Structure 1
Amino acid sequence: MSNKKEKQGSCCQTSSGGDAVITIAKEEREIPSSLEPKKTSCCSSKEPVLIPIVEVKQEASCCSSKTQHTEQKLDSSDSCCDPIPSKTSSCCSSSTTVTVQKEKDATDSSCCSSKKNEKKQELVFSDSCCSPDSPQVSSCCSSSTTLVQGEAAAKVSSCCSSEKPAEQPPVTGDGVQTYLIEGMDCGACAVTIEKHLQHVPGVEEVRVNFSTGKMQIRHTRDVEDIAKEVSKAGFHATLAGRRSKDVPSRKSMETPLLLSGILLAFGFFGSFTDTPPLLITLCYGASIVIGGYKPAKSAFYAIRSKSLDMNVLMTTAAVGAALIGEWLEGATVVWLFALGAALQNRSIERTRESIRGLMDLAPSEAWVKVGTELVKTSVDDITVGTVIVVKPGEKIPLDGTIVAGYSTVNQAPITGESIPADKQTGDAVYAGTINEEGSLEIHVTKLVKDTTIARIIYLVEEAQEKKAPTQAFVDRFARIYTPIVFALAWAVIMIPPLAGMGEWMEWVYKGLELLVVACPCALVISTPVAIVSAIGNATKKGVLIKGGTALEVAGALRVIAFDKTGTLTEGKPKVVQVTALEGSEGELLSFARTIEEYSNHPIAKAIAAYSQERNIPLQEGTDFRAIVGKGAQVTIQGEVYYAGNAALFEEQGVSTETWQEMMQSMQRLGQTVVIVGTKQTILGIIAVADSIRFTTLETVQELKRAGIQETVMLTGDNEGTAQHIAQQAKIDRYFAHLLPEDKVRAVEQLQAGGKTVAMIGDGINDAPALATANLGIAMGGAGTDTAMETADIVLMADNLEKLPYTMRLSRKALSIIKQNIWFSLIIKLIALVLIFPGWLTLWIAVLSDTGAALLVILNSMRLLRNK
């Protein structure tokens, strides 16, 4: 028997047992010449074996297929794992048993190949290994073995499957799926979809929001089934987060409009020539069918769902016009309606995209630092704690903290600030912001779904779906108004002819006109489009408005109450005055810096930072000691120096009476006095205070110009400090010595006069007052998740600069909403008045309705450009 040696280079490893010799994984193996190995699968493994083969037993822990026999055994265990462990979720192990059996045809089946083998002495081991390219591995092993010797054959089938598991649709915590709905141009469309799906088996709950073009649904059916049901109603549904390949393009959606218009024009101009009347009528008829198919389909499902929308009214009008022989009128109605719907859809989609554009701000991949290598990785696969590298000019892909590097970062997408912020080690950075200069190494602190920009998108989309009080009222009005006018139209058609007051055709035509005029489409969309536009504009400027209610309240504000610390002021003490009583100012600061350098107290840090900025040198100090509640001390050249309050020096026997008037004067200005000296003398006094922000005064003045009647400051500080800050910021009133519960009572006191009051703070310490006020406004939301949750409006930047803009935007939104409502009602009234004298034609009625809706949308879109 001659032997052959084969090199094995698979990723699988097998340990042998029993009488035979099987050595796998980069080892040599001896094989009888009568048993030629043959590779029959996609695995690169070759496993020739020296053994008297008679039968096979194949077992795999992850496989559902098992073939077993029981005689002389050879057991080998195979372990096949993905070469990239971080991407492997499970591995399979298999055991192979070989015994004697009579000859059969051998079939080798694996997940990669299957072939019929001829009767011959043959041994084939086929192992398929995990693909290193697969980002997700659920089962990574497959083994098929075929053994033939003379009259013996065995077949083992692998359970490996080349198919990837079906993608599961994204579901929220309460089992609700979100779909994007295309084609809605009126609030009634949303009602039609809701009512249709409520009668579909398996649908438990459904809500459709016209403003955002989204549907929230809880169901037990397939995603495709839900999309088909929505398409029956004349609209297109796509599961949010999934790119649908069969989404109708704008060109395909507008093709019927174009064909209908061409046929209408051919019929109209043909009527002035010798074109046969029948051909002209056919052109009009074809125009009605092509242009009116979609609204007729939607009308059918609206009627079946017991709802009346614009599609029902327009379809009725077009069919009625055709029945009474007004083919031109009918075709004109259909084409104008289709044109208006297309223009409305395009305009409304622009408002909806005002937020969706934020989703593209953060990159989908990041450079991950692995040792000394940089590996480009999907942000979905990056975990908290990973270190990523962001090169100059790139967008930061995930929230994190800088661990190495220095740069300037443009944070406008998050905070709306136009001036880039300097960033260094220890500073926080946000996904979607732009690294402008240096390379940064960032320690990831949040997953992609939890980043600040992801939270903003989620909260804004949630806010867009909340109805404002005005919108809720208009919707209730429309639900009552439409059926009443629909019934009135039928009364106009039936009663006058029956009473002998005119011809049937005359009153049918007037009734059809009334049907067209009846649709309150412009009225219904007057509010939501304005609110969505305003919220989208504000978000891009770094202001998060959480719903139409917050927007309306902001537009009606008359009083704003400010927290002091961290809102009107910086929230960080700074040195405001240095008075040297003995020696020079530099010497005084040198002693003070040496004492305070070892302390973590905010005032000590302020003095140390002030001295460092002025390059004041440190002296050699020893024996530092903090004196609780009074100050600190340090020994310099054998002399003990102190920095603290008056009580500390009085304990040392040093009189401060000479300087009492100066210190009291400083304290009346809200300053904290720090005395520096020894046991014998006072060297000088340093005054430290929390200074107002540089934007505070201008912001307060802008608010008053924007219509705010009164500004109020709420603080826990003493009377002197409160008065000083109020004077600097030009605040009208202030309340001092307030605990958190006192701030709540102060807000209630302001509300008692019937005024709409907003409270602005940091969103955490002032939470009770924020909740009590008519409108809670939080600052610095980019760094605080709590602020984004608790407040009605969040200023993402840590300053008041955006507050006047927010007030002006809210007031303009309220003004536009009122304009839209009055314009819609006046157009309806004029149209109704013109019907009965016969001055209104059917196509003018359609033009007035769709034209009014389009003008309302365009008027609302002005808010997108508000600066």
Structure 2
Amino acid sequence: MDCASCAAKIDAALRRSPGVGEVNVSVPAGTVTVDHDDTVVPAALAKRISTLGYKVTGQESVGSQEPVGPLGAQHHEHDHDHGREHAPGCCHDHHHDHGHKHRHDEQASAGLHGHPHDHGSSEGPWWKSRRGLLTIACGAALVAAYGVGRLVPEIGHWAFLAAMAVGLVPVARRALVAARFGTPFSIEMLMTIAAVGAVIIGATEEAAMVVFLFLVGELLEGVAAGRARASIQGLTKLVPKTALLERDGRTEEIPAETLAVGSIILVRPGDRVPADGEIVSGASAIDEAPVTGESVPKRKREGETVFAGTINGDGALRVRVTAAAQDNTIARIVRLVEEAQESKAPTERFIDRFSRYYTPAVLVVGALVAVVPPLLFGAAWSAWIYKGLAILLIGCPCALVISTPAAIAAGLAAGARRGLLMKGGAVLETLGTITMAALDKTGTLTEGKPKVTDIVPVARSEREVLSLAAALETGSSHPLAAAILAKAAEAGVPVPPAANAGAVGGKGVTGSVGGVALFLGSPKAVAETVALTAEQTALITGLNDEGKSVSVLLAGDRVAGVIAMRDEPRPDAKEGLEALKRAGVDTLMVTGDNRRTATAIAAGLGIEPRADLLPQDKQAIVRELQANGHVVAKIGDGINDAPGLAAADVGIAMGGGTDVALETADAAVLHGRVLDIARMVRLSRDTMGNIRQNITIALGLKAVFLVTTILGITGLWPAILADTGATVLVTANAMRLLAAGGRT
């Protein structure tokens, strides 16, 4: 399936089946999900879909399944799966709440079907598809008819009639089936009426040409739509098919999809990472460009995470698998985008409602054009019937109907390929309208972990202070200890073993190195043992005023030095906030941290802070901003910011790509870049601009050809170009978004 028209036919047909409740047709995934009671035989639903001209796969068996997904859907014991074949990660969530309801999925894929296109599949060249073969056959028949007409003029009419029948018979059959199943005003019906009417008034040659152009236009439309679908499905191909599993002291190659959580795998230099995991041993530069678009490889070492589909650079890695194949980062992205594409934007819902009245109105206008001038003004019947038939073709709503979903699908896919995940067209549309971004501090504007910012030597050198502090902190998992150890590793200072190391509850750590007693703790705890000088006290106060945590190192009974640490802003935080301001979005920091720290961080970033906030306070601020007329985006970690995320017009989870973040918010910045928020806003505005362009193309071409047809300047074959040509242009225009998703 590649357009809303296809989905509407299937939806209408299945809803008319006895025992069927809810029907959900996903064009991006090519699936149909049906809630039904025990009286329904799934094979009968598949047959009904097949009758419309779609090929249905996955009917061999029915088995239970435990679906998984990132959006928090509930799963119950009556779920069933029709053995459908999906690309890796294209698992759909199913749930129902009542005892004897069942849900089945069919995969409607590339067949000669209702629109009638045959391009759901990207496998193989277009000329080998059923649709391609039919188009070629119709074109060959048209050429043959032209030759026959030149050689034997008296049977030329019949030759063109036969050529037209080659293409029209399948179209007419599907028009009648669609009408029987609840879709009487389909493009196939308009096409059939126009072609038959043209034959009746003697325009057989034009009728044959129109049918051929219709098939060509639909084929081109399918190729363009297929590229849109392939752009997101292509992500699944980034994950290698095999993995090197360590088992019983040896390494063996197994299918990557069979890897279990907790398995240890070997990733050689140059290999793609086959699963999400944590590095157990080794260090290497990881090229994340295929997944994140990062231009520079990231150096990763033991304890850090790697994503499936990224490329290992220069070192062998042993990785512990943390997610099964259906739950890895790429699978979740694909699944999220497919589900998001099923969520219609307000503009798309409006266009859908509009098209329901638009198509019948076109039929009425076509009929009036055909009969009013001859009846009231004595005009020639054949000329005005011809114009009425042309109007039927001009008025086909395909280009208009696809104008919005094509752009939304391309926008969602473009965002996903850059780690900008949005749960549906409504979210994508709203993002472009935000006027205020309320950002959490810890883990959003900052990296969420402290770093050593200052080492002030007193009785010992800077390197000695860092070396001795690291000796005391070795083996500790405390965030401040991790910051000191990381700084020591970065500076390359030696870390000697500490004797009698231990923690003093709430005060610091003690130990001895080279026979010298050491204590590393808070200034208050140190002051209980050694009197700090006025100069040292002023230094500590100044560092605290900058929002830094201060630890003092004692060596014996003397202050050896002072170490200051702070959760520093992300490298792109300032640039990201400036990009939001350039986009016309005001910014505000909302944090539970103390006012002194918040003020210090905010001053460096140029943002107004609101500090000492509880989760409910953040929610109240969001409500206050909305009451003042702002469209608010709340950006946080997706856990303790949940009330604010829920209250905002758009809630954006920051970083990590965790299930919790994806479930809590409307959107997620997967790679934790503040700059990506502005990119998300720009993508939304680009998408809405693209939709406006598409609607202008769709309606503008129709208006031009409507006027020229009534004036007698253009006829049937330009009319069909006005429809299929507009559809191809609209789809191709939407595809431009795939290359523009990262602009700011």
TM over 0.5: yes
In structure 1, distance between residues paired with 2:348 and 2:321: 42
User: How far off is 1:395 after superposition?
Assistant: 2.5
> For residue 601 of structure 2, what is the aligned residue in structure 1?
725
In structure 2, distance between residues paired with 1:812 and 1:620: 58
Specify which of 662, 681, 686 is matched with residue 807 of structure 1.
681
Report matched runs for 1:542-621 at 5 Å. Answer: 542-597=419-474, 599-618=476-495, 621=498
Report matched runs for 1:15-94 at 5 Å. Answer: none
> For residue 173 of structure 2, what is the aligned residue in structure 1?
297
Residues 197-221 of structure 1, C-alpha deviation per residue, up to 9 Å, x if partnerless?
A: 3344675543323455432235677
In structure 1, distance between residues paired with 2:110 and 2:618: 57
Q: Say if 1:413 and 1:542, in contact at 8 Å, map to a contact too.
A: no
User: How far off is 1:726 after superposition?
Assistant: 1.8
Q: Say if 1:212 and 1:461, in contact at 8 Å, map to a contact too.
A: yes
> For residue 438 of structure 1, what is the aligned residue in structure 2?
315
The amino acid of 1:257's aligned partner reads T
Specify which of 707, 711, 717 is matched with residue 833 of structure 1.
707
Residues 751-804 of structure 1, C-alpha deviation per residue, up to 9 Å, x if partnerless?
A: 22222221222222222222222112222234x221122222222223334333
Distance 1:662 1:367, change over 3 A: closer
The amino acid of 2:577's aligned partner reads V
Distance 1:287 1:653, change over 3 A: same
SS in structure 1 of the partner of residue 352 of structure 2: helix
In structure 1, distance between residues paired with 2:135 and 2:167: 6
The amino acid of 1:864's aligned partner reads L
The amino acid of 2:383's aligned partner reads E
Structure 2 gap segments, 5+ residues each? 59-83, 88-106, 112-117, 119-123
> For residue 77 of structure 1, what is the aligned residue in structure 2?
none
Report matched runs for 1:266-305 at 5 Å. Answer: 266-268=144-146, 273=150, 275-305=151-181
Is 1:766 matched up with 2:646? no
Distance 1:588 1:187, change over 3 A: closer
The amino acid of 2:85's aligned partner reads G
User: How far off is 1:481 after superposition?
Assistant: 1.4
In structure 1, distance between residues paired with 2:585 and 2:278: 42
Residues 643-670 of structure 1, C-alpha deviation per residue, up to 9 Å, x if partnerless?
A: 3233223323624544333322222211
In structure 2, distance between residues paired with 1:717 and 1:292: 70
SS in structure 2 of the partner of residue 393 of structure 1: coil
Specify which of 482, 493, 502 is matched with residue 379 of structure 2.
502
Is 1:241 matched up with 2:85? yes
User: How far off is 1:730 after superposition?
Assistant: 2.7
> For residue 652 of structure 1, what is the aligned residue in structure 2?
529
State which drifts further: 347-356 or 733-742: 733-742
Give the RMSD, CA atoms, in angstroms. Answer: 2.9
> For residue 420 of structure 1, what is the aligned residue in structure 2?
297
> For residue 102 of structure 2, what is the aligned residue in structure 1?
none
Specify which of 200, 210, 234 is matched with residue 333 of structure 1.
210
State which drifts further: 470-479 or 529-538: 529-538
In structure 2, distance between residues paired with 1:588 and 1:683: 7
Is 1:257 matched up with 2:135? yes
Specify which of 193, 198, 219 is matched with residue 342 of structure 1.
219
The amino acid of 2:142's aligned partner reads L
Distance 1:741 1:663, change over 3 A: same
In structure 2, distance between residues paired with 1:392 and 1:633: 42
In structure 1, distance between residues paired with 2:236 and 2:475: 46
Distance 1:637 1:536, change over 3 A: closer
Distance 1:818 1:212, change over 3 A: farther
The amino acid of 1:301's aligned partner reads V
State which drifts further: 469-478 or 625-634: 625-634
Larger Rg: 1
Is 1:309 matched up with 2:153? no
SS in structure 2 of the partner of residue 844 of structure 1: helix
Distance 1:517 1:676, change over 3 A: same
Q: What is the total number of aligned residue pairs between the two structures?
A: 679
The amino acid of 1:785's aligned partner reads D
In structure 1, distance between residues paired with 2:589 and 2:429: 24
Specify which of 583, 588, 591 is matched with residue 715 of structure 1.
591
Distance 1:360 1:655, change over 3 A: closer
> For residue 191 of structure 1, what is the aligned residue in structure 2?
8
In structure 1, distance between residues paired with 2:378 and 2:158: 34
Report matched runs for 1:657-806 at 5 Å. Answer: 657-677=534-554, 680-705=557-582, 707-731=583-607, 733-782=608-657, 784-806=658-680
Structure 1 gap segments, 5+ residues each? 1-180
SS in structure 1 of the partner of residue 589 of structure 2: strand
In structure 2, distance between residues paired with 1:213 and 1:755: 38
Higher relative contact order (CA 8 A, sep 6+): 2
> For residue 92 of structure 1, what is the aligned residue in structure 2?
none
User: How far off is 1:610 after superposition?
Assistant: 2.7
Distance 1:415 1:480, change over 3 A: same
Distance 1:832 1:406, change over 3 A: same
> For residue 103 of structure 2, what is the aligned residue in structure 1?
none
Residues 150-182 of structure 1, C-alpha deviation per residue, up to 9 Å, x if partnerless?
A: xxxxxxxxxxxxxxxxxxxxxxxxxxxxxxx4x
User: How far off is 1:854 after superposition?
Assistant: 1.3
Q: Say if 2:28 and 2:338, in contact at 8 Å, map to a contact too.
A: no
TM-score (norm 1): 0.73
Percent of counterpart pairs with the same letter?
40
In structure 2, distance between residues paired with 1:594 and 1:389: 32
The amino acid of 2:701's aligned partner reads I
Distance 1:600 1:380, change over 3 A: closer
In structure 1, distance between residues paired with 2:560 and 2:268: 51
Distance 1:587 1:450, change over 3 A: closer
In structure 1, distance between residues paired with 2:473 and 2:140: 85
In structure 2, distance between residues paired with 1:534 and 1:603: 42
Residues 47-68 of structure 1, C-alpha deviation per residue, up to 9 Å, x if partnerless?
A: xxxxxxxxxxxxxxxxxxxxxx
State which drifts further: 749-758 or 413-422: 413-422
